Amino acid sequence: MIEVVAAFTILVIVVTGFLVAIVSGEKSRILSLAQIEVQSEVRRAIDWIAKDVRQARRVDIGSGANNPSASHIKFQMVSGYDTAGLGSVLLSSSTIEYDHIPNDRSIVRKETKPSSQAGGQPIITTWVFNHIVEPPFYTKIKDPDGGHSIISIDPPVPGGDSPVFQTGNLVIKIVGQKSVGNGLTPEYVLMEEVLIRN
Amino acid sequence: MNNRGIAIIFSFLVTILLLGFLGVVCLQTLAESRHVHRYVNSVNAFWLAEAGVAHVKSNLGAPSSLSGTMVNPSDPSGNTYAYNVVSSQIGISGYYNVVSTGIVTFPGSVIRRVVNVTMKVIPPDPSKFQYCVETTGDTLEYKNKNVKNEINPENLVKKNSTQAFTDLFGVSMATMKANSTYFTDTTLPVSNTIAASGITWVDVTQGSPPELSIQHLNGSGIVIINGDFRLNGVAGGGGSTFDGILYVVGKLWMSGNATVNGTVFVESAADIGVENELTGSALVEYNPANITAALGSLSTKTIVSWKEN
C-alpha cells in the first residue's frame, strides 16, 4: 500500500511538472510565432517600400502635390529614359501610394493603374502589411554643426513640399508589435535609409 | 506493481509528446534560418549589382561591359559573390543602357538581383583646345607651313597659355597616368616608334636633361610625354602621322615629316621645324573631330535613370 501511494505521489509530481512544462512551452511557442510573424511583416514592409522608393524621383515623393507626410507617400516609379532632345525620365503609368493606418495598425500599399480602355475604371491593387504601429516615413538632414538628424517628412508648411525634396533620401522606420496576451507584446523595429536614385 | 507500469507508460507517452513538440520547434527554426539566409543573400546580390554599376561609372571613357567577383575571407559558407555588367549604346546618342546583375551562389541555389540604369556620357569640353599649338611658355618658333587651322585661321599658335592640365582634361595627371597605356623611354615596344591608342603615357628617364627622341608617332588618342620630346618624322617605316592630342610636359621639337592632326599642347617652350628647317615639313593641323574623339576616352558618366528589374 505504501509503495502504491509513493508511486502515485511521484507520478502526480512528474505529471504536474510535465503539464507545467507543456503549458509554458505552449506560451513560449505562441510568443515565438508572434515574434516571427511581426519580424516577417516588418521585414516584408521595409523591403517593399525600399525597393519602390529607390526607383522613384525625389521630386515626386517630396512634392506638396502628392501630400507627403510621416504616414503617406505617393509617387510613380521610373521606367526608363527618353534620349530625344535634352532627354527626360520616363515614368511608369502606375501610381504607388503607401499609407499608415493607425487604427488597423497596418501599412497599405496601393497601386493604381489606369484602365487600358478609354473611360474605364482604373485598376487598383492593394497589399497590407500588418502589426505596424507607428508612421514610418522620415528623412535625414544635415545639421548646421555638421552632424545629422532624422526628422519626419511632414512639410514645414502645410501643403508645401517635404524636406525629402532637398535631401533626396527617405529613412524608413518600421515598428511592429503584436499582443499575445498576459501582457506580452513582442516588438521588432527595422530602420533603413534609402537613397532615392532618380 | 500494475501502477508502476502505468507510470512508466505515461512517462513514455509524455516524453514522445515533448520530443514531437521539440521537433516542430526545430523545423520552424530551420525554416526561419533558411528564410533569413535567402534574405541576406538577396541583399548581398543587390549590392553586388550596385557595385557593378559603380565599377562601370568609375572607369574613364564610354561604359563598357565587365564582370567581377568579390571574396569575403571571413565568410566560411563557401558562397561566391559576383557581378556581371552589360553596357550598350542607345542608338548613336551619348546615352548607354547599363544592366548590372548581382549573383550570389550558395550550395543548392543562386540568387540574382538586376539593376538597370541609363548613363549619360559627358566628355571633357573639346573647345578648350582652340589652337594648332599652345604652350604655357613664351618661346615658340615655327614657320607658317608648319601649322594649319582651317576652322579658324587666326588660331594657329598661342603662347603663355594659362590653361592647366586638369582644366583641359577634367582629370588629374595621376588619374590620366593610372588609366593610360604606360611606357618609359626604355620600355617602348618598338624602337623609335610610339604607336598610340586611347591614352598613351611615356615617362622620359634617359639623358640630362631627360629627352626622348623618336622617328615615328602613329595612331590616335591622347599621348602624354612626360619630359623633353624630339619627334623626327621619318617618311619610311610607316611614316609619322598622329590623330589626336599630343601633350608634352617639357620641350618639344618636331621635324621631318611628322604630322599631328588635332592639337599640340606644351608645358614650357615649343620649337617646331627649326631643327630641320631646310627639309622639315612638320605639320600640326588643327582638327576638332580628332580632338573630340581623343577626349572621348576621358568621358565621365552620370546616371540619369535607375530602376531595379
**Mean pLDDT of all residues in A112-133:** 90
Nearest-neighbour CA in chain B from A91: distance (Å): 10
Check residue A60 and give its pLDDT.
Answer: 94
d(CA A190, CA A62): 23
Sorting pLDDT into bands at 50, 70 and 90, what band is A24?
confident
Say which range, A94-103, A114-123, B179-188, B203-212, has the weakest mean pLDDT: A114-123
Chain B contact for A12 (CB, 8 A cutoff): no
Average pLDDT rounded to a whole number, residues B183-201: 91
Residue A83 contacts B, CB cutoff 8 Å? yes
Integer angstrom CA distances of residue A184 from A36, A180, B267: 14, 6, 77
Q: What's the confidence (pLDDT) of residue B279?
A: 43
- What DSSP letter does each residue of B222-240 carry, written as one string? EEEEESEEEEEE-SSTT--
DSSP assignment, residue A132? Answer: B
Higher pLDDT, B273 or B247: B247
Cβ <8 Å between A78 and B305:
yes
Q: For the complex shown, is ipTM > 0.85?
A: no
The one-letter amino acid code at B134 reads E
Q: B254-294, pLDDT tens digit by residue?
A: 988 899 999 999 998 666 644 434 346 889 999 999 999 99
Does residue B196 contact residue B169 with C-beta atoms inside 8 Å? Answer: no
Q: What is the distance in angstroms between the Cα of A125 and the nearest Cα belonging to chain B?
A: 20
Q: What percent of chain B has pLDDT over 70?
A: 95
Mean pLDDT over residues B34-48, rounded?
89
Kindly tell me if the per-residue pLDDT of B108 is higher than 70. yes
The gap between the terminal CA atoms of chain B, to the nearest Å, is 73
Q: Amino acid letter at A52?
A: D
Nearest-Cα residue of chain A relative to residue B20: A22
Identify the residue among B3, B25, B306 best suited for mutation to test binding to A, counting A beta carbons within 10 A and taking the highest. Answer: B306
- The whole-number pLDDT of residue B278 equals 34
Model pLDDT for residues A51-91, shown as the tens digit of each residue: 999 999 999 999 999 999 999 999 999 999 999 888 899 99
Q: Tell me if the pTM is above 0.90.
A: no
| The predicted structure's pLDDT at residue B280 | 66
- What's the rounded mean pLDDT across residues B194-202? 94
Mutate to test the interface with B, among A24, A42, A83 (most CBs of B within 10 A): A83
At B271 the pLDDT is 62
Give the whole-angstrom CA distance, residue B6 versus residue A10: 12
The pLDDT value recorded for residue A175 is: 96
Rounded Cα distance between A70 and A175, Å, is 13
Neighbouring CB atoms inside 10 A of B184's CB total 16
Are A75 and A95 in contact, with CB atoms under 8 Å apart? yes
pLDDT computed for residue B276 by the predictor = 37
Min distance B192 CA to chain A CA atoms (Å): 46
Q: What is the mean pLDDT of chain A?
A: 92
